Amino acid sequence: MEQVESALDYHVALAMLDWQLELGVDETLCEAPINRNDLQQAQPKPAAAAGPDGKRRAPAPVAKPKVDPPAEARAAAATANDLPSLRAALETFPHCELKQGARSLVFGDGLAGARVMIVGEAPNREEDRAGKPYVGPQGTLLDKMLAAIDLDRGSQDRDSGVYITTVLPWRGPTNRDASPAEIAMMKPFLERHIQLAKPDVLVLMGNLPCQALLAKRGISRLRGQWGEALGIPALPMLEPQRLLRNPAAKRDTWADLLALRAHLNG
Protein backbone atom coordinates (compact mmCIF):
# COMPACT_ATOMS: atom_id res chain seq x y z
CA MET A 1 0.00 0.00 0.00
CA GLU A 2 1.32 3.40 -0.93
CA GLN A 3 2.14 5.51 2.14
CA VAL A 4 0.22 8.80 2.32
CA GLU A 5 2.51 11.69 3.18
CA SER A 6 1.24 13.90 6.02
CA ALA A 7 0.15 17.43 5.07
CA LEU A 8 1.29 18.68 8.46
CA ASP A 9 4.48 20.45 7.46
CA TYR A 10 6.70 22.59 9.67
CA HIS A 11 4.79 25.85 9.16
CA VAL A 12 1.36 24.26 9.73
CA ALA A 13 2.62 22.55 12.90
CA LEU A 14 4.12 25.82 14.17
CA ALA A 15 0.86 27.69 13.54
CA MET A 16 -1.12 25.00 15.40
CA LEU A 17 1.28 25.16 18.34
CA ASP A 18 1.05 28.97 18.44
CA TRP A 19 -2.77 28.72 18.44
CA GLN A 20 -2.68 26.35 21.42
CA LEU A 21 -0.34 28.69 23.31
CA GLU A 22 -2.78 31.54 22.73
CA LEU A 23 -5.49 29.38 24.35
CA GLY A 24 -3.33 28.98 27.43
CA VAL A 25 -2.10 25.40 26.89
CA ASP A 26 1.06 24.94 28.94
CA GLU A 27 1.40 21.14 29.16
CA THR A 28 1.23 18.16 26.81
CA LEU A 29 -0.38 14.81 27.61
CA CYS A 30 0.73 11.35 26.55
CA GLU A 31 -1.62 8.79 25.03
CA ALA A 32 -1.21 6.55 28.09
CA PRO A 33 -1.21 7.70 31.74
CA ILE A 34 2.10 7.90 33.57
CA ASN A 35 2.50 6.77 37.17
CA ARG A 36 5.00 9.32 38.45
CA ASN A 37 5.40 7.41 41.72
CA ASP A 38 6.86 4.51 39.75
CA LEU A 39 9.24 6.91 38.01
CA GLN A 40 10.47 8.24 41.34
CA GLN A 41 10.97 4.72 42.71
CA ALA A 42 12.88 3.70 39.61
CA GLN A 43 15.40 6.48 39.97
CA PRO A 44 18.71 5.30 41.47
CA LYS A 45 19.24 6.48 45.02
CA PRO A 46 22.54 8.15 45.90
CA ALA A 47 24.99 5.86 47.59
CA ALA A 48 25.30 6.38 51.31
CA ALA A 49 28.63 7.70 52.52
CA ALA A 50 30.66 5.75 55.05
CA GLY A 51 31.11 7.31 58.49
CA PRO A 52 34.18 7.09 60.75
CA ASP A 53 32.90 3.77 62.11
CA GLY A 54 32.64 2.32 58.63
CA LYS A 55 28.83 2.27 58.63
CA ARG A 56 26.93 3.67 55.68
CA ARG A 57 24.90 6.81 56.34
CA ALA A 58 22.40 8.56 54.09
CA PRO A 59 23.72 11.80 52.59
CA ALA A 60 22.54 14.95 54.31
CA PRO A 61 19.82 16.78 52.37
CA VAL A 62 21.00 19.87 50.54
CA ALA A 63 18.87 22.89 51.40
CA LYS A 64 17.81 24.94 48.40
CA PRO A 65 18.47 28.67 48.79
CA LYS A 66 15.27 30.61 49.35
CA VAL A 67 14.46 33.19 46.69
CA ASP A 68 12.71 36.46 47.51
CA PRO A 69 11.46 37.70 44.08
CA PRO A 70 10.50 41.25 45.24
CA ALA A 71 13.93 41.66 46.87
CA GLU A 72 15.61 40.37 43.70
CA ALA A 73 13.50 42.80 41.68
CA ARG A 74 14.49 45.73 43.90
CA ALA A 75 18.15 44.86 43.49
CA ALA A 76 17.83 44.50 39.70
CA ALA A 77 15.84 47.73 39.30
CA ALA A 78 18.30 49.70 41.44
CA THR A 79 21.13 48.91 39.02
CA ALA A 80 19.31 50.68 36.14
CA ASN A 81 20.51 54.23 35.52
CA ASP A 82 18.38 54.84 32.44
CA LEU A 83 15.36 53.35 30.66
CA PRO A 84 17.34 51.09 28.27
CA SER A 85 19.19 49.49 31.20
CA LEU A 86 15.88 49.09 33.07
CA ARG A 87 14.42 47.32 30.06
CA ALA A 88 17.47 45.05 29.94
CA ALA A 89 17.04 44.27 33.66
CA LEU A 90 13.42 43.28 33.04
CA GLU A 91 14.31 41.09 30.07
CA THR A 92 16.81 39.11 32.13
CA PHE A 93 14.73 38.94 35.34
CA PRO A 94 14.28 35.18 35.91
CA HIS A 95 11.52 34.99 38.54
CA CYS A 96 8.35 36.14 36.70
CA GLU A 97 6.63 33.16 35.08
CA LEU A 98 4.35 35.42 33.03
CA LYS A 99 7.03 35.96 30.41
CA GLN A 100 7.18 32.22 29.71
CA GLY A 101 3.85 32.44 27.88
CA ALA A 102 4.18 35.96 26.45
CA ARG A 103 5.47 36.90 23.03
CA SER A 104 6.80 40.35 23.86
CA LEU A 105 8.03 42.50 26.69
CA VAL A 106 5.71 45.53 26.73
CA PHE A 107 7.91 48.24 28.19
CA GLY A 108 6.65 51.68 27.18
CA ASP A 109 5.52 53.99 24.42
CA GLY A 110 5.54 57.71 23.78
CA LEU A 111 7.92 60.42 24.93
CA ALA A 112 10.00 59.49 27.98
CA GLY A 113 10.31 62.69 29.97
CA ALA A 114 6.85 64.02 29.06
CA ARG A 115 4.95 65.81 31.80
CA VAL A 116 2.19 63.18 31.76
CA MET A 117 2.90 59.49 32.37
CA ILE A 118 0.07 56.97 32.05
CA VAL A 119 0.31 53.68 33.95
CA GLY A 120 -2.03 50.98 32.64
CA GLU A 121 -2.78 47.50 33.93
CA ALA A 122 -1.31 44.70 31.79
CA PRO A 123 -0.90 43.92 28.08
CA ASN A 124 -3.70 42.16 26.26
CA ARG A 125 -3.31 39.89 23.25
CA GLU A 126 -2.95 42.71 20.71
CA GLU A 127 -0.45 44.59 22.85
CA ASP A 128 1.55 41.42 23.43
CA ARG A 129 1.85 40.97 19.68
CA ALA A 130 2.72 44.61 19.02
CA GLY A 131 5.16 44.91 21.94
CA LYS A 132 3.73 48.24 23.12
CA PRO A 133 0.83 49.36 25.34
CA TYR A 134 -2.58 50.51 24.20
CA VAL A 135 -2.97 49.40 20.61
CA GLY A 136 -6.10 48.26 18.79
CA PRO A 137 -9.55 49.68 19.65
CA GLN A 138 -8.63 50.73 23.18
CA GLY A 139 -5.48 52.42 21.89
CA THR A 140 -7.52 54.34 19.32
CA LEU A 141 -9.92 55.46 22.04
CA LEU A 142 -7.06 56.51 24.33
CA ASP A 143 -5.50 58.59 21.56
CA LYS A 144 -8.84 60.37 21.00
CA MET A 145 -9.17 61.01 24.74
CA LEU A 146 -5.71 62.55 24.87
CA ALA A 147 -6.27 64.61 21.71
CA ALA A 148 -9.38 66.13 23.34
CA ILE A 149 -7.11 67.86 25.87
CA ASP A 150 -4.26 68.59 23.45
CA LEU A 151 -2.04 65.64 24.37
CA ASP A 152 -0.46 63.21 21.92
CA ARG A 153 1.70 60.17 22.61
CA GLY A 154 3.43 60.78 19.28
CA SER A 155 4.50 64.30 20.20
CA GLN A 156 8.15 65.01 20.95
CA ASP A 157 7.28 68.08 23.01
CA ARG A 158 7.44 67.64 26.78
CA ASP A 159 4.29 69.69 27.39
CA SER A 160 2.07 67.99 24.81
CA GLY A 161 3.66 64.53 24.78
CA VAL A 162 2.66 61.49 26.85
CA TYR A 163 4.62 58.50 28.09
CA ILE A 164 2.82 55.18 28.71
CA THR A 165 3.73 51.99 30.55
CA THR A 166 1.91 49.18 32.39
CA VAL A 167 2.19 47.57 35.82
CA LEU A 168 2.89 44.15 34.29
CA PRO A 169 5.23 44.10 31.29
CA TRP A 170 4.04 40.66 30.12
CA ARG A 171 0.62 39.38 29.18
CA GLY A 172 -0.85 36.86 31.59
CA PRO A 173 -2.38 33.61 30.31
CA THR A 174 -5.99 34.09 29.15
CA ASN A 175 -5.78 37.72 30.30
CA ARG A 176 -6.37 36.70 33.91
CA ASP A 177 -6.02 39.16 36.77
CA ALA A 178 -2.55 39.57 38.24
CA SER A 179 -1.90 37.96 41.60
CA PRO A 180 -0.71 40.05 44.58
CA ALA A 181 2.65 38.22 44.37
CA GLU A 182 3.09 39.23 40.72
CA ILE A 183 2.23 42.86 41.49
CA ALA A 184 4.70 42.92 44.39
CA MET A 185 7.36 41.39 42.14
CA MET A 186 6.94 43.96 39.37
CA LYS A 187 6.41 46.99 41.63
CA PRO A 188 10.16 47.80 42.07
CA PHE A 189 10.57 47.91 38.29
CA LEU A 190 7.50 50.16 37.94
CA GLU A 191 8.72 52.53 40.65
CA ARG A 192 12.15 52.76 39.03
CA HIS A 193 10.48 53.30 35.65
CA ILE A 194 8.61 56.30 37.04
CA GLN A 195 11.73 57.69 38.72
CA LEU A 196 13.68 57.52 35.46
CA ALA A 197 10.86 58.98 33.32
CA LYS A 198 10.42 61.93 35.74
CA PRO A 199 6.83 62.91 34.95
CA ASP A 200 5.00 65.84 36.57
CA VAL A 201 1.69 63.93 36.70
CA LEU A 202 0.71 60.26 36.84
CA VAL A 203 -2.54 58.94 35.36
CA LEU A 204 -3.41 55.55 36.89
CA MET A 205 -5.73 53.72 34.51
CA GLY A 206 -7.48 50.86 36.27
CA ASN A 207 -7.24 48.89 39.48
CA LEU A 208 -3.75 47.41 39.10
CA PRO A 209 -1.85 50.72 39.02
CA CYS A 210 -3.96 52.01 41.93
CA GLN A 211 -3.19 48.86 43.89
CA ALA A 212 0.53 49.00 43.08
CA LEU A 213 1.10 52.73 43.66
CA LEU A 214 -1.69 53.82 46.01
CA ALA A 215 -2.35 50.53 47.84
CA LYS A 216 -6.05 50.96 46.99
CA ARG A 217 -8.61 49.22 44.78
CA GLY A 218 -12.05 50.13 43.52
CA ILE A 219 -11.46 52.27 40.45
CA SER A 220 -15.13 53.30 40.19
CA ARG A 221 -14.80 54.94 43.60
CA LEU A 222 -11.23 56.22 43.17
CA ARG A 223 -11.52 57.77 39.72
CA GLY A 224 -11.32 61.53 39.62
CA GLN A 225 -9.80 61.82 43.10
CA TRP A 226 -6.24 63.13 43.13
CA GLY A 227 -3.71 61.22 45.20
CA GLU A 228 0.06 60.99 45.37
CA ALA A 229 2.44 58.23 44.31
CA LEU A 230 6.20 58.46 44.80
CA GLY A 231 5.75 62.15 45.61
CA ILE A 232 3.99 62.79 42.26
CA PRO A 233 0.35 63.90 41.84
CA ALA A 234 -1.65 60.90 40.63
CA LEU A 235 -5.12 60.83 39.07
CA PRO A 236 -6.99 57.49 38.91
CA MET A 237 -9.04 57.07 35.76
CA LEU A 238 -11.12 54.35 34.07
CA GLU A 239 -9.20 52.30 31.53
CA PRO A 240 -10.28 52.62 27.86
CA GLN A 241 -11.27 48.95 27.65
CA ARG A 242 -13.91 49.56 30.30
CA LEU A 243 -15.21 52.57 28.39
CA LEU A 244 -15.62 50.43 25.29
CA ARG A 245 -17.78 48.04 27.29
CA ASN A 246 -19.68 50.82 29.05
CA PRO A 247 -19.93 53.97 26.88
CA ALA A 248 -22.04 55.71 29.54
CA ALA A 249 -18.90 55.98 31.70
CA LYS A 250 -17.28 58.31 29.15
CA ARG A 251 -19.01 61.25 30.83
CA ASP A 252 -17.02 60.65 34.04
CA THR A 253 -13.83 60.18 32.07
CA TRP A 254 -14.36 63.47 30.27
CA ALA A 255 -14.59 65.19 33.67
CA ASP A 256 -11.33 63.48 34.70
CA LEU A 257 -9.63 64.60 31.49
CA LEU A 258 -10.69 68.18 32.13
CA ALA A 259 -9.29 67.93 35.67
CA LEU A 260 -6.00 66.67 34.23
CA ARG A 261 -5.88 69.54 31.74
CA ALA A 262 -6.60 72.08 34.49
CA HIS A 263 -3.81 70.64 36.63
CA LEU A 264 -1.35 70.88 33.74
CA ASN A 265 -2.37 74.46 33.11
CA GLY A 266 -1.57 75.15 36.74
Instruction: Give the CATH number of the domain where residue 159 resides.
Output: 3.40.470.10
Which residue type, as a one-letter code, is found at position 159? Answer: D
pLDDT of residue 176: 74
- The phi, psi pair for 3, rounded to 5°, reads -75, 130
pLDDT of 62 strictly over 70: no
pLDDT of 179 strictly over 90: no
pLDDT of residue 5: 47
What b/e string do you get for 19-55 counting C-beta neighbours within 10 Å, with b at 16 or more? Answer: eeeeeeeeeeeeeeeeeeeeeeeeeeeeeeeeeeeee
pLDDT in tens, 63-104: 566 779 999 999 999 999 999 999 999 999 999 888 888 899
User: Is 56 part of any domain?
Assistant: no
pLDDT of residue 177: 77
User: Is 159 part of any domain?
Assistant: yes
pLDDT of 23 strictly over 70: no
C-alpha–C-alpha distance, residues 115 and 264, integer Å: 8
Domain of residue 180 covers: 69-265
| Average model confidence (pLDDT) across the chain | 87
Q: Which residues contact 209 (CB under 8 A, 6 or more apart)?
A: 119, 120, 121, 167, 236
* Number of residues that this document lists for the chain: 266
Is-contact 208 180, C-beta < 8 A? no
Mean pLDDT of 232-238: 97
Mean pLDDT of 195-209: 97
pLDDT in tens, 2-17: 444 445 566 566 667 7
User: Is 22 part of any domain?
Assistant: no
Q: How many domains does the chain contain in total?
A: 1
Q: Which is more confident, 42 or 101?
A: 101
User: Is 10 part of any domain?
Assistant: no
User: Is 13 part of any domain?
Assistant: no
User: Is 31 part of any domain?
Assistant: no
